[in-house]
């Protein structure tokens, strides 16, 4: 059956409108938001670290995938958990204070935080090399809650404190 001029014009006008709408959508849509490689929560307190103690702080060696003090591997980063004083202030589950190289990249920080998540440590204070000390020779280090870190596979990994089971954490996040 042959198309009349009127119906052909209506079909062409409809196709033109669909193409126009597609172009408008394509060029005006918002850019996709990439997920951050790690998320830190608000400061939960401050730890004081003397300048003499900074060289003794654990450092994550991303190339080796382990924690080291003075370039020697340490048994467990969990053994370095500290608590705020007085009791009940700050982070309930404790925290670790670590050192980070001055030239460390965001990827180095992500690997370090992912290592802490793997051991169930969800709060960290970071002293960066070269950071000036206060007049009394100490560093006031903000302790921050680790919310999430992008895993090796690109998936978002939430922090689960080591005294909390994975089942409880998954039901708490719903």
Please say whether the beta carbons of 81 and 123 come within 8 A: no
Average pLDDT over residues 57-85: 87
* Mean pLDDT, range 145-156, rounded to an integer: 91
Mean pLDDT of the region 52-58: 90
Q: What is the predicted pLDDT for the residue at 154?
A: 86
Q: What is the pLDDT of residues 81-112, one digit of tens each?
A: 888 754 445 555 689 999 998 888 999 999 99
pLDDT in tens, 8-53: 898 899 999 999 999 998 888 887 767 789 999 877 788 888 888 8
Residue-level pLDDT at 82? 86
The answer to whether residue 171 scores a pLDDT higher than 70 is no
Using CA atoms, how far apart are residues 56 and 94, in angstroms rounded to an integer? 19
Please tell me the distance from the alpha carbon of residue 142 to that of residue 63, in angstroms, as a whole number. Answer: 26
Among 65-74, 86-95, 117-126, 137-146, the range scoring the smallest mean pLDDT is 86-95
Confidence of residue 166 (pLDDT cuts 50, 70, 90): very low
Strand segments (E) across the chain: 38-50, 59-61, 66-69, 72-73, 96-100, 123-128, 138-150, 156-158
Average pLDDT over the chain, rounded to an integer? 83
pLDDT value for 92 = 59
Query: Cα–Cα distance between 62 and 114 in angstroms, integer?
Result: 11
- What is the pTM (predicted TM-score) of this model? 0.70
Question: Could you tell me the residue ranges of all domains in the chain?
Answer: 38-172
Q: Considering only residues 35 and 118, tell me which one the structure prediction assigns the higher pLDDT.
A: 118
Q: 35-44, 67-76, 137-146: which range is least confident on average?
A: 35-44
What is the pLDDT confidence band of residue 165, given thresholds at 50, 70 and 90?
very low
């Amino acid at each position: 059956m042959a198309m009349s001029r009127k119906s052909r014009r209506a079909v062409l006008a409809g196709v033109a409108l669909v193409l126009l709408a597609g172009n408008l959508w394509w060029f005006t849509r918002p850019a996709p938001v990439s997920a951050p490689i790690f998320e830190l929560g608000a400061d939960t307190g401050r730890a004081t670290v003397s300048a003499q103690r900074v060289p003794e702080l654990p450092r994550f060696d991303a190339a080796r995938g382990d924690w080291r003090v003075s370039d020697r591997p340490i048994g467990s980063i969990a053994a370095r958990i500290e608590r705020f004083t007085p009791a009940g202030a700050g982070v309930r589950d404790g925290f670790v204070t670590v050192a980070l190289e001055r030239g460390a990249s965001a990827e180095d920080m992500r690997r370090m935080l992912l290592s802490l998540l793997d051991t169930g440590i969800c709060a960290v204070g970071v002293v960066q090399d070269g950071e000036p000390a206060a007049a009394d020779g100490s560093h006031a280090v903000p302790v921050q809650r680790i919310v999430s870190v992008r895993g090796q596979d690109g998936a978002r990994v939430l922090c689960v404190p080591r005294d909390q089971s994975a089942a409880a954490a998954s039901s708490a996040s719903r």
